[in-house]
Amino acid sequence: MAIAQAIQPITLDDEGLRKALEDAFLPALLPAMAQVTGDMSLLDDSLRPGMMAPGVPQGGMTPDQQDRAKALLFEALRALRDGRVPPQPPHPVEDDLRRIMHWMTGAPVAEDYVPLLLEELAEDRDGRAPAWRKDPAIAFSVTIIGAGMSGILAAIRLKQAGVPFTIIEKNADVGGTWFENTYPGARVDVSNMFYSYSFAQKADWPNFFSPQGVLLDYFRSIADEYGVREHIRFNTEVTSAAFDEATCSWRLKLRTPEGGEETLESQALIAAAGQLNRPKMPPIRGIDRFAGPSFHSARWDHSVNLKGKRVAVIGTGASAAQFIPAIAPKVGELTVFQRTPPWFVPVPTYHDAVPSGLSWLLTHVPNYAHWYRFWLFWFSTDGLLPAATVDKSWPHPERSVSEANDQLRMLLAMYLQGQFADRPDLLAKVMPWYPPSSKRMVLDNGIWAATLKRENVHLVTEAIREITATGVVTADGVEHAADVIIYGTGFQASKFLTPMTVTGRGRADINAQWDGDASAYLGITVPNFPNFFMLYGPNTNIVVNGSIIFFSECEVQYIMGCLRLLFEGGHRALDCRREVHDAYVSWINAANMERTWGVSTVNAWYKNEKGRVTQNWPFNLLEYWRLTREPVAGDYGFL
Ligand code: NAP
């Protein structure tokens, strides 16, 4: 699965090379070829990509820059094919990395990017695999709750370190969100080069943004390849977990597939249950009165035939924006109830297959996929974060939060104006009023406008008053008749860990301790809950894209570091110091108030009922990587 294994020798003739280059993403291919040939002159200043903005092809390289780049790359590929390239060192040279990153981003990048890239770019090793193994004499096992993306990852690392573990999974298979969300049109909205494990890169993704089935297969195959599956108890749910101070172990109550109850004991507990797995049904009056079929997007009822039916959809978030275009051509009438219009980011390749030339280059040029990944990584965090940062002196806080945010707004508004130029009635309804990046932006390749313009699709922006047996009534008294209602109304994201009961030291109940306002040090550890670790916990979500998989890799690296502290220090458990946790939460809160999503008053699942941003990480990805590389022993009390 690693890229290194997939790289094949170049056998294409000159014509074939030229053709492949037509599909290349040049801002990443130039660095990859510079690295593999050792010829840093490929990174000429005059070829530097200049425009990191959504929807801008080739990083804004001009046609002339692109032609010159292709000519250079053609010669470099020929030299590589014909064996005229001097042998390169097996691992990247640090100065080369600095130079490449500077060239790609147009600025000297933070020095910590170098070790981060060394972790990711080594061709012959998994740079984040634990470099230690537990002493078999130490009796210690771990329970992981959930076999989704992050649970599988934790299992792989535990296995590599020789730590016994069991995964408890409520579903019948692995995959978590990719197992549960089977709605039509479901696909990832972060490019797969980035939305994939660093150690299990695939150079041959069929699409830039994989559909649900492809991702589910990816996680299934990883679970098989790494021998995780045999450690999973499927169709089993954790109902409660309690820390026993006398033995320093966690006692779990499980609901077995047969509906019985069982207990399980382990010395550490990793909650990998995700943030977005408890559907949120809206508190709309009459919701139970509807006589026809109705379901939530994450519990899609495939037995309901939508063909020719009058379908009402409530919500226009990331899920609805995917399934509405997919079902519109099949249904009779589709009424879409929009409360807040999303901002759309133009991504022309959103639904495209990876073109054959690009696919060929990814499988034949060493590290091309890694540099592609770095581009996405940098662009989607450092690149976009400034446009989500609040300038307190900015005079138009209702529409944008800073000049950079306003420029982003203009770009995205222009996109909508272009898409709906022929339908001013719709344009008025779909144009958001709030600053972009206050809530999740939705990717679009033109399909949203095409769908809303269909004759059988009606966009309703009146507030919903109630649901009746036969449809949805809006505040203006109009009843919109429906045979089926589909709720694209999101998830109870800020209710972490529910419905489980988790009890720590002194019989502390985690939900009582949180009092509706979940927090965890680095999103991972919670005072009073020794050896309890969360993955995708509070404040580890990202808004301006980035990949949750990267976060999970950081979190698991940190947890493995915590276990190592225990084993090497002869301790049984570690408990996060209250003052460390509190100082961290204050720091995060203050930083979130410097971002669009912290100051904007628009509805978003990023805030809890108390108005605190419980979901988002306010800094760049590098900062999280830095903080989670290894735990600081002084942050913990040891038992
Ligand atoms: P969501 O973003 O929370 O959207 C829920 C939608 O339902 C919003 O339009 C919301 O309106 C509306 N809504 C909620 N309650 C309502 C009510 N009482 N009356 C009327 N409208 C109501 O949920 P989601 O679309 O399922 O997405 C959740 C998250 O999952 C995303 O932000 C993303 O992180 C992830 N996701 C990712 C992908 C992907 O990678 N491709 C796909 C789907 C989801 P308001 O905006 O006014 O609240």
Q: Whole-angstrom Cα distance, residue 599 to residue 236? A: 41
At residue 274, what are phi and psi to the nearest 5 degrees? Answer: 85, 170
Please indicate, yes or no, whether residues 313 and 360 belong to a single structural domain of this protein: no
Please indicate, yes or no, whether residues 78 and 153 belong to a single structural domain of this protein: no
Is residue 31 scored above 70 in pLDDT? yes
**Mean pLDDT for the stretch of residues 433-439:** 96
User: CB–CB of 102/109 below 8 Å?
Assistant: yes
62 in any annotated domain: yes
Query: Given this model, what pLDDT does residue 500 score?
Result: 95
User: CB–CB of 32/365 below 8 Å?
Assistant: yes
137: CB partners within 8 A, 6+ apart: none
Please indicate, yes or no, whether residues 159 and 305 belong to a single structural domain of this protein: no
**Pocket of ligand 1, candidates 183, 295, 489: which has the most ligand atoms within 8 Å of its Cβ, to mutate?**
489
Q: What is the CATH number of the domain that holds 532?
A: 3.50.50.60
Q: Whose CA is nearest to atom 34 of ligand 1?
A: 440
Buried b (16+ CB within 10 A) or exposed e, 289-303: ebebbbbbbbebeee
Count of CB atoms within 10 A of residue 108's CB? 10
Q: Write the pLDDT tens digit of every residue in 59-80.
A: 889 999 999 999 999 999 999 9
The rounded Å distance from CA 253 to ligand 1 centre is 32
Query: Given this model, what pLDDT does residue 381 score?
Result: 66
1 in any annotated domain: no
Which of 308-312, 344-348, 360-364 is modeled with the greatest confidence?
Answer: 308-312
Pairing assessment for the beta strands 471-474 and 464-467 based on DSSP bridges: antiparallel
Q: Whole-angstrom Cα distance, residue 201 to residue 228? A: 18
**Pocket of ligand 1, candidates 339, 491, 495: which has the most ligand atoms within 8 Å of its Cβ, to mutate?**
339
Q: Write the pLDDT tens digit of every residue in 135-173.
A: 999 999 999 999 999 999 999 999 999 999 999 999 999
Is residue 5 scored above 80 in pLDDT? no
Q: Whole-angstrom Cα distance, residue 622 to residue 499? A: 33
Q: Whole-angstrom Cα distance, residue 422 to residue 271? A: 50
Structure tokens at 475: 């505040």
Is residue 545 scored above 80 in pLDDT? no
Specify the ligand 1 atom closest to the Cα of 439. 32
Please indicate, yes or no, whether residues 151 and 103 belong to a single structural domain of this protein: no
Structure tokens at 501: 């009961």
Distances (CA, A) of 432 to 399, 423, 483: 9, 16, 30
Is residue 1 scored above 50 in pLDDT? no
Please indicate, yes or no, whether residues 28 and 97 belong to a single structural domain of this protein: yes
User: CB–CB of 518/415 below 8 Å?
Assistant: no
Specify the ligand 1 atom closest to the Cα of 339. 47
190 in any annotated domain: no
Is residue 556 scored above 60 in pLDDT? yes
Least confident of 253-262, 342-351, 374-383, 552-561: 374-383
324 in any annotated domain: yes
Query: Given this model, what pLDDT does residue 123 score?
Result: 61
Query: Given this model, what pLDDT does residue 201 score?
Result: 85
Please indicate, yes or no, whether residues 149 and 238 belong to a single structural domain of this protein: yes
Count of CB atoms within 10 A of residue 605's CB? 19
398 in any annotated domain: no
413 in any annotated domain: no
Specify the ligand 1 atom closest to the Cα of 187. 41
Question: 3-class DSSP state for residue 547?
Answer: coil
531 in any annotated domain: yes
pLDDT class for 2, splitting at 50, 70, 90? very low
Query: Given this model, what pLDDT does residue 49 score?
Result: 85
Alpha carbon 608 to its chain centroid, in Å, reads 20
Please indicate, yes or no, whether residues 531 and 457 belong to a single structural domain of this protein: no
Q: Which range marks the domain in which residue 447 is found?
A: 294-343+437-487
300: CB partners within 8 A, 6+ apart: 181, 182, 183, 184, 323
Structure tokens at 366: 């060493």
Least confident of 89-93, 450-454, 467-471: 89-93
User: CB–CB of 173/179 below 8 Å?
Assistant: yes
Please indicate, yes or no, whether residues 238 and 323 belong to a single structural domain of this protein: no
CB burial of residue 312 (10 Å; 0-12, 13-18, 19+): buried
Is residue 333 scored above 50 in pLDDT? yes
Specify the ligand 1 atom closest to the Cα of 283. 18
446 or 108: which carries more pLDDT confidence? Answer: 446
Please indicate, yes or no, whether residues 262 and 149 belong to a single structural domain of this protein: yes
Please indicate, yes or no, whether residues 481 and 336 belong to a single structural domain of this protein: yes
Q: What is the DSSP string of 125-187?
A: S-TTS-S----TTS---EEEE--SHHHHHHHHHHHHTT--EEEE-SSSSS-THHHH---TT-B
DSSP label of 410: H
362 in any annotated domain: yes
Residue with tokens 């943030």: 275
The rounded Å distance from CA 238 to ligand 1 centre is 27
Q: Write the pLDDT tens digit of every residue in 562-620.
A: 999 999 999 999 999 999 999 999 999 999 999 999 999 999 999 999 999 999 999 98
583 forms bridges with which residues in the sheet? none
Q: Whose CA is nearest to atom 12 of ligand 1?
A: 315
- The average confidence (pLDDT) of the chain is 93
Please, what is the end-to-end C-alpha distance for the chain in angstroms? 40
Q: Name the domain count of the chain.
A: 3
- Packing angle of the helix pair 368-378, 356-364 (nearest 10 deg): 110
Q: Whole-angstrom Cα distance, residue 480 to residue 226? A: 51
Please indicate, yes or no, whether residues 572 and 511 belong to a single structural domain of this protein: yes
pLDDT class for 483, splitting at 50, 70, 90? very high
pLDDT class for 4, splitting at 50, 70, 90? very low
From 487, 515, 545, the end of a domain falls on 487
Q: Whose CA is nearest to atom 4 of ligand 1?
A: 317
Q: Whole-angstrom Cα distance, residue 91 to residue 214? A: 31
The rounded Å distance from CA 195 to ligand 1 centre is 20
Q: Whose CA is nearest to atom 45 of ligand 1?
A: 340
Least confident of 273-282, 325-334, 345-354, 363-372: 363-372
Residues with CB under 6 A from ligand 1: 187-189, 276, 282, 284, 297, 314-320, 322, 339-340, 440, 464, 488-491, 603, 605
Specify the ligand 1 atom closest to the Cα of 298. 26
Please indicate, yes or no, whether residues 160 and 261 belong to a single structural domain of this protein: yes
Q: Write the pLDDT tens digit of every residue in 284-321.
A: 999 999 999 999 999 999 999 999 999 999 999 999 99
Question: 3-class DSSP state for residue 317?
Answer: coil
481 forms bridges with which residues in the sheet? 471
